[in-house]
Amino acid sequence: LLAACVLPTAVAQKAPDTAAALSIVQKNNCLSCHAVDSQVVGPAYREIAKKYHGDASAPDKLFTKVRNGGAFVWGEVPMPPNPNISDADLHTVIAWILAGAPDK
């Protein structure tokens, strides 16, 4: 009985830290090319979440894409590399995006 109560808690994913993610995207100028729910230069964060929904490799793919930059996934405008965002901050933002970029 104890295992039945503890196991679901152990495998449940931690909710993304929305306030931290929003702070990170603001201070790193991510919002100059992206928005939560509409395309700017790059895709909306919620469109990214839809595209990668159910893809277990998405966090690693997006980490590499944001860190190194890339092109031709969402159009012809390349995404520049972002080497100055810390790994921890990048993981926070990616978790938030993949959770659907919640506002709360």
The model's confidence at residue 75, banded by pLDDT at 50, 70 and 90, is confident
pLDDT value, residue 14 = 67
Per residue in 36-55, pLDDT tens?
999 999 999 999 999 999 99
Whole-prediction pTM: 0.84
The Cα 51–Cα 80 span in angstroms is 20
The Cα 61–Cα 102 span in angstroms is 21
Give the angle subtended at the CA of 8 by the CAs of 6 and 10, to the nearest 5°: 70
